[in-house]
Structure 1
Amino acid sequence: MTSLQAPSAVVMIRPHHFRSNPETQADNAFQTLDNVSTESVAAKAMAEFDGAVETLDRAGVTVHVFDDTGTGTPDSVFPNNWFSTHAGGHVAVYPMFAENRRKERRWDVIELLKRDYRVQDVIDYSGLEQDGLSLEGTGAMVLDHIGRIAYTVKSNRADPVLLERFCTHFNFEPMVFEAKDAAGRDVYHTNVLMGIGTEYALICLDMIVDPARRAEVAARLEETGRRVIDLTAEQISNFAGNALELTGGKRVLALSAKALKALRPDQISIIEQSAEPLPLTIPTIETAGGSVRCMLAGIHLSPRERTFA
């Protein structure tokens, strides 16, 4: 039942001072909350976060929770942008576009990975921020860990030179395309419009601008043995593409309650042939412009065997 695509463990960051990030509002059309942090908003986000952790835990997913107690990292609840992990013991650390997001990188997270999992190397690209380059992890790239393809929307969050470098290091083929939302705005992160499971893929093909490229992306997904669940722009606006397949007691698809409600019965039926939808209720957190996928940094590493004296 385990899958290279669906990790059985994740890292999550509990946000003690949740608010919408003013430095990312210009190009994140999903942000709906103003940037004023209030205790009531922060308390709601914390309660949603803890409820999500509890739901994942009950489903048999291992959750490593770290607390963010600082006030300078409003997007800390979305750790999938600053690091990723890969089978064979490889970890990547990424350069971020917004200056205040660069403070999210935490070496205590990397140390936990080294302690509890087999880590062979950590490749740190973050120094390239000084050259104005960014590649925001599994937000900027949606990775097919089975077919070794890095689906990537062109944006200021995904530098093409750095993408090529990552793909060379980690043995992925880059598949880059331009995408716009229903209002004609550029899509800033690939993981808002697509998510790849073991046997299916969620994607809004209509948001891919070039018809020929659209057909190529659909064909590649099908070539890797996946059924393509074609989402509408309306479903994307409800975060239906921002989902992550995980392995617990069985395979589950973690997504928000809002996202699941937006899916049609026929689409849910395709998912259920491979994984059980696992809705997490996070309406306050979603106002900051990210959803469940953004909250989960999947661990694609082999656990160390614990030895006890």
Structure 2
Amino acid sequence: MIAPILRDTIHSQNQAVHTTNAVVMVPPVDFKFNTETSADNEFQKSLALSDVQVRGKALQEFNQMVELLRGHGVNVTVMNYSPSEGETPDAVFPNNWFSTLPNGDLYLFPMACENRRREIRPETLTEALVTSGFNAPVVLEIGSLSSPDAFLESTGVMIMDHTNGTVYAALSVRCDRKLLQEYADRAGFRDVIFFDTQMSSGAPVYHTNVMMAVGEGFAVICDEIIEEFERRRVLGSLQKTKDVVSITEEQMGHFCGNILQLQSDKGERLIAMSLSAYNAFTLEQKRVLRKHGKLVPIDVSTIETIGGGSVRCMLAENFLPQ
């Protein structure tokens, strides 16, 4: 454990801001239905399309998303990605293998599925970041990357409230409690609030970021899948500083929890989400969210249907200094 005084110092360096103007995105060059991840990802669904057709549609959605975000003043670094010796069907979701902090640290995380470990390319990522004008990061690792026996899939499983120094996490095969605490201590977060979930199928949610999002002044959460005692603890923490939007499990299935608050180059707050999520939010829920940023719906229907992840999963926040 890090001494409290040192941890508070690290926290003040890293959690000064909650939203960023910069993101990293990875094109879906190998994209298709990932049979390895489908074992615990109930959001994945196959379509009656060939792999070539799927990749074509996914790449079109990806390019349109990049242009839309750039049009709203978001700094998008596209990490050029060449296929590896083995397939990497989920490379379009880079937020699961790395995260960044304002002090220049870049953390790498152990992935649960073998074909997802092939996505971890720190040299390629560093080159893309430096080319985009960011300082070369200090690359750090949590756990074992190549042959892990425990997993922590970055901001897929950790929802970070940078403003309050808190990490929220739904425990699962992809979110190990010990690694979670190790990262929180090393990165300087003051509190870790972890909890168990159970969907109507009886299974836990595979990634916290499909059920929950935290912005500067708001939170979206599918609290009905959290056990009652833990639910009160999670909601009590969020309600201290956030407008809380509670979504149903059905809305979660439309990726209403998989959204991300960003900011434009002019400081305007934006909330990126998929078109399916936008259409599934109620008018009242959208009214609350609009108090915290312009809603930016993006059509990624092919990617979210086959990949089981949506807009937030496609965005790796870049807090690194320029």
Superposition deviation, residue 122 in structure 1: 2.0
Q: 2: distance between equivalents of 1:73 and 1:35?
A: 21
Q: Provide the TM-score with structure 2 as the length reference.
A: 0.89
* Alignment correspondent of 1:298: 317
Per-residue deviation, residues 21-64 of structure 1 (Å, max 9, x unmatched): 11101100000026985211110000000010111010000101
Task: Say whether the 8 Å CA contact 1:96–1:102 is kept in structure 2.
Answer: yes
Q: For 1:201, what is the secondary structure of its paired residue?
A: strand
How far apart are 1:186 and its partner, in Å?
1.1
Q: Which residue of 1 aligns with 2:284?
A: 266
Question: 2:117 aligned with 1:102, yes or no?
Answer: yes
1:89 deviation in Å? 1.7
Q: Is the 8 Å Cα contact of residues 117 and 145 (structure 2) preserved in structure 1? A: no
- For 2:256, the equivalent position in structure 1 comes to 240
Q: 1:193 aligns with which of 191, 197, 211?
A: 211
TM alignment of 1:1-309, pairs within 5 A = 4-33=17-46, 38-70=51-83, 72-106=87-121, 107-113=123-129, 116-118=133-135, 121-125=138-142, 127=144, 129-172=146-189, 173-209=191-227, 211-223=228-240, 225-248=241-264, 249=266, 250-287=268-305, 288-303=307-322
Structure 1, residues 239-295: CA drift from partner, whole Å, max 9, x if none?
Answer: 000001100141100000000000011111111111011011000001210000000
Q: CA deviation at 1:175?
A: 0.9
C-alpha distance in 2 between matches for 1:55 and 1:131: 37
Gaps of at least 5 residues in structure 1 are: 304-309
Structure 1 residue identity aligned to 2:156: G
Separation in 1 of the partners of 2:158 and 2:114? Answer: 20
95-104 vs 30-39, greater mean Cα deviation: 30-39
Q: Quick check: 1:152–1:176 contact (8 Å CA) kept in 2? A: yes
Deviation at 1:212, TM superposition (A): 1.5
Q: Answer whether contact 1:81 1:139 (CA < 8 A) is retained.
A: yes
Amino acid at match of 1:148: G
Q: Which deviates more from structure 2 when the two are superposed, residues 181-190 or residues 42-51?
A: 181-190
Q: What percent of counterpart residues are identical? A: 38
The total of aligned residue pairs comes to 299
Q: Is the 8 A contact 2:30 2:91 kept in 1?
A: no
Check conservation: 1:194, 1:241, Cα contact below 8 A. yes
Point out the more displaced range, 156-165 or 256-265.
Answer: 156-165
Q: How has the CA–CA distance of structure 1 residues 37 and 17 changed in structure 2, closer, same or farther, with 3 Å as cutoff? A: farther
Q: Distance in 2 between matches of 1:34 and 1:159?
A: 32
In structure 2, distance between residues paired with 1:212 and 1:50: 43
Task: Determine if contact 1:91/1:121 at 8 Å carries over to the other structure.
Answer: yes
| SS, match of residue 15 in structure 1 | coil
Shift of residue 126 of structure 1? 5.3
Unaligned runs of 5+ in 2: 1-15
- More off after superposition, 122-131 vs 41-50: 122-131
Q: Which residue of 1 aligns with 2:7?
A: none
Deviation at 1:218, TM superposition (A): 0.7
Q: Which stretches of structure 1, 4 residues or more, deviate above 6 A after TM superposition?
A: none
| Contact persistence 2:77–2:129 (CA under 8 A) | no
SS in 1 for 2:272: strand
Specify whether residues 289 and 87 from structure 1 end up closer, same or farther in structure 2 by C-alpha distance, changes over 3 A only.
Answer: same
Aligned partner of residue 68 in structure 1, secondary structure = coil
For residues 140 and 186 of structure 2, the distance between their equivalents in structure 1, rounded to whole angstroms, comes to: 9
Q: 1:22 to 1:199 in 2, by over 3 A?
A: same
> 1:94-113 deviations in whole A, cap 9, x for unaligned?
11000000010112113433
Hey, what does 2:4 align to over in structure 1?
Answer: none
> With structure 1 as the length reference, what TM-score do the two structures score?
0.92
* Contact 1:19/1:36 (<8 A) preserved: no
For the aligned residue pairs, the C-alpha RMSD in angstroms reads 1.7
